[in-house]
Amino acid sequence: MIPQFLISSVRKSPRFIIIIHWPATLLILALGLVFGACSSQPDPNTIRMGVAQAPTNLDPRYATDATSARINRLLYSRLVDFEQDATPVPSLATWVQQSPTHYVFTLRDHVPEFHNGQGVTSQDIKATYESILSPHNASPHRGVLHIIDRMETPSDTEISFYLKRTDPFFPSYLVIGILPANLIANRHPFSDHPIGNGPFRFLDRPDETRVRLVRQTDGQLVEFLRIPDPTVRVLKLLAGEIQLLQNDLPPELVAYLANQPTLHLQQSRGANFAYLGFNHQDPLTGNILVRQAIAHAINREDIIRYVFQNRARQAQALFPPDHWAGPVQLTGYPYDPDRARTLLAEAGFGISHRPTLIYKTSTDPFRLRLATIIQDQLSRVGIDVVIQSHDWGTFYGDIKTGRFQMYSLAWVGVKTPDIFRYAFHSQSIPPTGANRGRFASPIADHLIEQAEVSTNRTEQRTLYHDLQVHFLETLPYIPLWFEDHICFSSTEITGYRLESDGNFDGLLQVQRNTSTTHVASIRSPAI
């Protein structure tokens, strides 16, 4: 490693010469490394998006977290998609309902090929859903799709779904990305090397922080960068290192960015339901009085006003009032610390006997901040809270497997009321579904089942209304709020549209303006 001339010079001259060359040697080494290690200059044509969490699973059969789901939407196509108002519409295939329990889906003409060049056939669809349904694979989506009794493929473009019972929402369950049948059979590692037929092709994952996709239509490179720290995300956006930033920003930074001339802000009412979840088998959180006390102890109004700076709205139920299944005019639990203390006393707690709760959350600073505020508000009514924050993977793993007493999380991108079976039915306990708190209510089960077999929209709406009223009484979750969607894009790109559910589909249209060079004109904040 030491250049030859240095060694020879040492031999000839007094011994200390080598020390004089110490810095020089290091400089040479360092320069060598500068050019060696940093050959990967950022490509000026790539469009980069900063995300708070890296996708945990790029296999749509297993993915459940929001980032994975949003990226998988780009990599894979599905049979059915949604309109703006949450009604299902054909995507890969159109469908006909032959009988209450028999649906026939027909692939559209000119369906794009899989990224490995294979054509998409009904066999692929069958194989995808069969592998989800196989108990052996323990897919988290199995619970909802369990309704499928069997599938038949009369031709390459046709597939029949026979159901175990009627379900008016059945088409809206078929939103999982389709994988090639032969690769499923070969146990292809889709999470590492996704192969679908979506508008984007997977390029690579150069390290744990980056995922690169290629747009099929024009070869545009899109890169997702995991940047856990929101300030760093913002700084990178301001410095032009990324061009897009969507959600997961503390409201103070949103306000700050909104004042930047080089950025474009898009904002819309969100429908992602933030809640407090509980373990219903725990003696403390399984007690309805304790949960009601917690609900009364949290001052959501103040949190929304001061912390969210009004970029959120209170939630009383899983669906917002503007969703067709969302209940209107529910009163919920107003902030009432005295009532909370009374409820706690009824549950047998008091000043000398304060309950202690373990509250799990991710290490995301904003989530941690909200958790600390909730901790403070609960301690004021006499509940001690211990916050345990873990990195996203560990935290989400703990939640999925039911290792928690209390936690906060949000349901992201939920469109159809099948969420109620998935998250609250007593038969949806993991790994079959997402009833992670092991909530069990015969009334809820009954209402869910009734609504599922009903074919009448009005009747369904009433049933779901009753169900959500029942949830507000029994509190499987404590509803918190719906955060607004925020998207900042730099002026280097155009055409990105913020979707109403916060997905990344805007990347299909986005273009990089090659002519404008980024000028770092950042206003310095006054100290």
Binding residues (CB under 8 A) for another protein: these are 14-20, 22-23, 26-27, 29-30, 33-34, 37-38, 40-42, 207-209, 227, 229-232, 234-236, 238-239, 241, 250, 252-253, 255-256, 299, 302-303, 305-307, 363, 365, 368-369, 372-373, 375-376, 387, 390-391, 393-394, 398, 401-404, 520, 522, 524-525, 527
3-state helix, strand, coil in the chain (%, to 5): 35, 20, 45
Q: Of 243 and 454, which has the nearer Cβ to another protein? A: 243
Q: Of 26 and 328, which has the nearer Cβ to another protein? A: 26
- Whole-angstrom Cα Rg for the chain: 27
Q: How many Cβ atoms from other residues are within 10 Å of residue 277's Cβ?
A: 21
Q: Of 102 and 400, which has the nearer Cβ to another protein? A: 400
Question: How many DSSP H helices and E strands does the chain contain?
Answer: 16, 21
Q: Is residue 96 within 8 Å of residue 103, measured between CB atoms?
A: yes
Check residue 307 and report its DSSP letter. I
Classify burial at 103, counting beta carbons within 10 Å of its beta carbon; exposed 0-12, middle 13-18, buried 19 or more. buried
Structure tokens at 290: 């304790």
Nearest to 149 by CA among 130, 127, 125: 130
Q: How far is the CB of 230 from another protein (least distance, A)?
A: 7
Q: Is residue 480 within 8 Å of residue 315, measured between CB atoms?
A: yes
Pure H helices in 40-148: 66-75, 122-133, 142-145
Q: Of 169 and 256, which has the nearer Cβ to another protein? A: 256
Q: How far is the CB of 372 from another protein (least distance, A)?
A: 6
Check residue 213 and report its DSSP letter. E
Q: Of 235 and 440, which has the nearer Cβ to another protein? A: 235
Q: Of 203 and 239, which has the nearer Cβ to another protein? A: 239
Classify burial at 206, counting beta carbons within 10 Å of its beta carbon; exposed 0-12, middle 13-18, buried 19 or more. exposed
Q: How far is the CB of 337 from another protein (least distance, A)?
A: 14
Q: Is residue 481 within 8 Å of residue 465, measured between CB atoms?
A: no
Q: Of 23 and 332, which has the nearer Cβ to another protein? A: 23
